[in-house]
Chains A and B, each alone.
Chain A
Amino acid sequence: MSAEALSVTYKVRSGFLGSVHREIKPVDGVDLSVRAGEVLTVIGESGSGKSTLGFALLRLVKPSAGRVFFSGKDIGRLKASELRALRRHMQIVFQDPYSSLDPRLHVKDIVSEPLIGSGMKDQSEIEARTARAVSLVGLGPSAMSKYVHEFSGGQRQRIGIARAIVGDPKFVVLDEPTSNLDVSIQAQILNLLLDLQSGSGASYLFISHNMAVAQYLSDRIAVMYAGEIVERGTAKDVIGEPMHPYTKDLLSCVPTMDISKKVTDVKISGDPPSFTDLPSGCRYSNRCKYAFDLCREKRPALASAGGREVACFLYHKEEKDPGASVR
C-alpha cells in the first residue's frame, strides 16, 4: 500500500447561515508507503488528520489529490465493482466497538460481511472462514449466534478484529482500536494483534495517539502534525532519539513509570492549530522553541537526516526551495 502526494479536502461552512465557504485540508500532500508485513504507526494528536489519512488510503473518503496504490493498482481508477472485490483485502478496525458493529445482526453475520460483500458465494467456505476468524480472536463458538450487546467492550473489539481479518487481508488499518478499553483489556488486544499480524504476514497501519502503544506494536512510526508527516523512521529511532521538535515535545508530555520525570514541568505553549487558521511556514513554528525566521516563511520538506526522515530546518537549512518538494 502506498500513497503519493495524498490530500483530502473538506468544505466547511461558517458565518451567518453558513454563508462563508472555506476549504480545509486535514491531509496535505502526504507520501506514505506501508511495506509488506510491517506495522507502521501514524501517531498524532486529535485533529492532526491521522484518521482521515487512514480513511483516504482505504478510499472511505475520496482524496482531493494524489494517488493510492494497492498491490500495484491505482485504486482511484478502479470501477466500483472492482473496488468492492478488493475490499476484503484492505480492511479497517474502528475505534469505537459500540457504534461500528450493527446491533441487529448476529456476530456471524457481522464477521462474514466482508466475504459476502466481495462476492463470495460458497456458503460452506463463508461459514468455515467466519468460524476460523472468530476462534482466532479468542471468542468461543457460542459467540457466533449472539448479538453484540451481549459482549463487553474488549470482546466487541475482538468481533471488529474478526471482521477485519476474515478475508485474509493484505492490509489492515487499525484506527485507535484500544483507546476506549481499560488497560488490562488493552493488553489482551495488543498481544492478540501482534500474534495475528506475525501469523498472517499482513501489513498494518496503526493509528494512535498513544506513544507507549505505538512503540510496542510498530516497526516504523510516522508522526503527524496538522495534516503533514513531520518525522518518520524506525520505532527505535523516532521514540528513542526523536529529532523533530514536535516529536520531542510530544514524548516529553507522556507520563511514564519514572515519576521523577514530571510532565507538569514541560513548557509547551498553545494548542495544535486549527485547519482554518494554519501558521505560515512550518506548522509547528508558532509553538516551537527553536523556531527562527526561515521556519515562519517556508514549509520544510520531509528529507532524510539521522537515519530517518524529518521535516525541520534545524537539520537541513540549506534546502533551496522546500515548498516545491512538499508538493
Chain B
Amino acid sequence: MTDALKVSGLWVDYRTKSAWASAVRGVDLAVREGEVVGVVGESGSGKSSVALAIMKLLPANARARGRVEVLGKDMVGLPSRDAHLYRGSGVTMIFQEPMTSLNPVMRVSEQLSEAVLSRVEHYKLEMFRSDSIAVPGGPDPRFSMPQARPAPPPKEAIQALRQVRIGDPERAAAKYPHELSGGERQRVMIAMSFLLRPRVLVADEPTTALDVTTQAQVLSLLLGLSKDEGTAIVFVSHDILVVGQVAQRVAVMYAGEIVEFGPTEAVLKNPLHPYTKGLIGSIPSGFKGGKRIEQIPGAPPDIMRLPSGCKFNPRCKFAMDRCRAEETALKELEDDHFVACHLY
C-alpha cells in the first residue's frame, strides 16, 4: 500500500510578541491508503496544529516547516493561492463543531452540490486521480471555476445523505444547518466527504460534541469511508478509547512531539511511554470503592517554557538525570511500535 499522506519533520511555530513558539516539533507521520491513523493528545499537545498544517489552514500568525506530502506532492511549499487545488478532493477536513464548518445561509442541498462541482473541477485538473498526478501549472483553476449552480439537489447529493443514514434525505436536503441536530450536521459533513472522495481526510475531534449513541454511528460511517473509498484518515482526538475503535495505528503526542507510535492494540494493551501509561491509567474504570485510578501529577507544560531534555520529565515518576539533560527520539522497540523514552 502506498502512503497517501506523508508528514516528515513537521514543525509548526506561532508568532508571539517576543519570539516564535513551537507547538509542533518535528513530527513524522505516514498514513496509507484506506488506513485510519489516530493522533491522541491532551489540549496543547499540538495535535490540532498538525491537522491544520496538513490542511494548509494554519492561521496567519503561524508558520509550518518540514514536508507534508499528499500523494507525493509537498503542500508546505505550495503557495497559498494554489492551496485550494489540494483541498476538497485531495485533502478534506471534518471539524469538532459542524455548525461552524457549514454555511448557515445555504441549504444542505446547495452545500452538497458545491462538493460535487468541486470534485468535478478537481477531476478536470486530473490532479487527484491516483494514476495521473499532474503538477499545478496546467489549466489555470481560476478560469475553470463553476459558473452556475444546478438548481435541484443532484441525485448524488441525496444518495450521499442516504449513505450517511439520514432519515428522509429529501427533507434534510431542503433544510438549513441550524434546523438539523448536531449528529445530523456531522453526518452532512461526512456526506460531503463521500461526495468529494478525498484521498486524505483529517478528522479533528469529529465526535467530541456528540452523544455516545450518535458517536458510534459517526465512527462507523468514517470507517466505511476508509474501507469503501480507500480514503486515508487522520483521526485526531483526546480520547484514546474512541481512537482505539477506528484506528489501525495510533500516535500519542505530548508537548508537540510524538512520544509513542504503534499498532493500536499494542499501544493500548502494552503502552511503553510513561505518559501513555499514565493516560490509560487515568481512564476511570471499576466501581466506587474499588481500585483508585492513577493520576499524572501536574499539568502539561507551557510551550513557551518547555523543560530541558524529555518534555515529560517533570511529571514522570521514572525520570532520571539523563531525562533532564538529553532530548529523546523515537526508537523502534517492537514490530512497528516506536517510543521516545530513555528507559528503553
Q: Is the CB of A271 within 8 A of B288?
A: no
B282 contacts partner chain A, Cβ-Cβ < 8 Å? yes
- Among the interface residues A39, A154, A264, A270, which one has the most CB atoms of the partner chain B within 10 A? A264
A187 contacts partner chain B, Cβ-Cβ < 8 Å? yes
Across the interface, which residues of B come within 8 angstroms of A184, CB to CB?
42, 278-279, 282, 295-296
Name A's interface SS.
helix
Cβ contacts B267-288/A at 8 Å (1 or 0 each):
0110000000011111111111
Q: Is the CB of B293 within 8 A of A216?
A: yes
Cβ distance B168 to chain A, nearest Cβ, rounded Å: 11
A168 contacts partner chain B, Cβ-Cβ < 8 Å? no
B308 contacts partner chain A, Cβ-Cβ < 8 Å? no
Q: Is the CB of A263 within 8 A of B287?
A: no
CB-CB contacts below 8 Å: A282-317 with B: none
Q: Interface size bucket, B side?
A: 35 or more
Q: Could you say which of A29-37, A57-65, A123-131, A188-196 contacts chain B?
A: A188-196
Across the interface, which residues of A come within 8 angstroms of B245, CB to CB?
255, 259, 262-264
B80 contacts partner chain A, Cβ-Cβ < 8 Å? no
Q: Is the CB of B287 within 8 A of A216?
A: yes
A182 to B292, CA, bound (A): 18
CB-CB contacts below 8 Å: B156-181 with A: 167, 181
Check A187/B296 contact, CB under 8 A, given A216-B287, A263-B219: yes
CB-CB contacts below 8 Å: B99-146 with A: none
Q: Could you say which of A81-89, A159-167, A207-215, A319-327 contacts chain B?
A: A207-215
CB-CB contacts below 8 Å: A129-179 with B: 152-154
Residue of A nearest to B241 (CB): A255
Q: Is the CB of A271 within 8 A of B181?
A: yes
- Among the interface residues B279, B285, B299, which one has the most CB atoms of the partner chain A within 10 A? B299
B220 contacts partner chain A, Cβ-Cβ < 8 Å? yes
Q: Is the CB of A39 within 8 A of B288?
A: yes
B264 contacts partner chain A, Cβ-Cβ < 8 Å? yes
Across the interface, which residues of B come within 8 angstroms of A256, CB to CB?
241
Across the interface, which residues of A come within 8 angstroms of B299, CB to CB?
152, 154, 185
A290 to B295, CA, bound (A): 41
Across the interface, which residues of B come within 8 angstroms of A216, CB to CB?
284-288, 293
A74 to B299, CA, bound (A): 44
Q: Could you say which of A20-28, A93-101, A246-254 contacts chain B?
A: A246-254
Cβ contacts A202-230/B at 8 Å (1 or 0 each):
00000001111101111100000000000
Residue of A nearest to B183 (CB): A271
Q: Is the CB of B287 within 8 A of A253?
A: no
Cβ distance B306 to chain A, nearest Cβ, rounded Å: 16
Check A250/B282 contact, CB under 8 A, given A182-B42, A188-B295, A271-B181: no
- Among the interface residues A218, A254, A263, which one has the most CB atoms of the partner chain B within 10 A? A263
- Among the interface residues A46, A154, A235, which one has the most CB atoms of the partner chain B within 10 A? A46
Q: Is the CB of A253 within 8 A of B215?
A: yes
Q: Could you say which of B7-15, B190-198, B206-214 contacts chain A?
A: B206-214
B238 contacts partner chain A, Cβ-Cβ < 8 Å? yes
A17 contacts partner chain B, Cβ-Cβ < 8 Å? no
From A215, A253, A270, B216 is in contact (CB under 8 Å) with A253
Across the interface, which residues of B come within 8 angstroms of A254, CB to CB?
212
Check A263/B284 contact, CB under 8 A, given A184-B42, A191-B295, A209-B211: no
Residue of B nearest to A45 (CB): B211
Cβ distance B294 to chain A, nearest Cβ, rounded Å: 7
Residue of A nearest to B285 (CB): A212
Q: Is the CB of B223 within 8 A of A264?
A: yes
A138 to B283, CA, bound (A): 21
Across the interface, which residues of B come within 8 angstroms of A235, CB to CB?
287-288
Cβ distance B206 to chain A, nearest Cβ, rounded Å: 13
Across the interface, which residues of B come within 8 angstroms of A250, CB to CB?
212-213
A190 to B285, CA, bound (A): 12
A257 contacts partner chain B, Cβ-Cβ < 8 Å? yes
Across the interface, which residues of A come within 8 angstroms of B268, CB to CB?
257, 259
From A187, A236, A255, A270, B295 is in contact (CB under 8 Å) with A187
Q: Is the CB of B285 within 8 A of A255?
A: no
Can you report 18 A-B residue pairs in the complex whose CB atoms are below 8 A from each other?
A45-B213, A46-B211, A183-B283, A184-B296, A209-B212, A215-B284, A216-B284, A216-B293, A218-B288, A235-B288, A253-B213, A255-B241, A257-B269, A259-B245, A263-B212, A270-B167, A271-B184, A272-B211
Apart from A259-B245, A264-B246: 14 A-B pairs, beta carbons within 8 A? A45-B211, A183-B282, A184-B295, A184-B296, A187-B282, A187-B294, A190-B293, A215-B285, A216-B287, A250-B212, A253-B213, A259-B264, A268-B217, A272-B211
Q: Which residues of B contact A (CB under 8 A)?
A: 42-43, 167, 181-184, 211-217, 219-220, 223, 238-242, 244-246, 264-265, 268-269, 278-288, 292-296, 299-300
Q: Which residues of A contact B (CB under 8 A)?
A: 39, 45-46, 152-154, 182-188, 190-191, 194, 209-213, 215-219, 235-236, 239, 249-250, 253-257, 259, 262-266, 268, 270-272
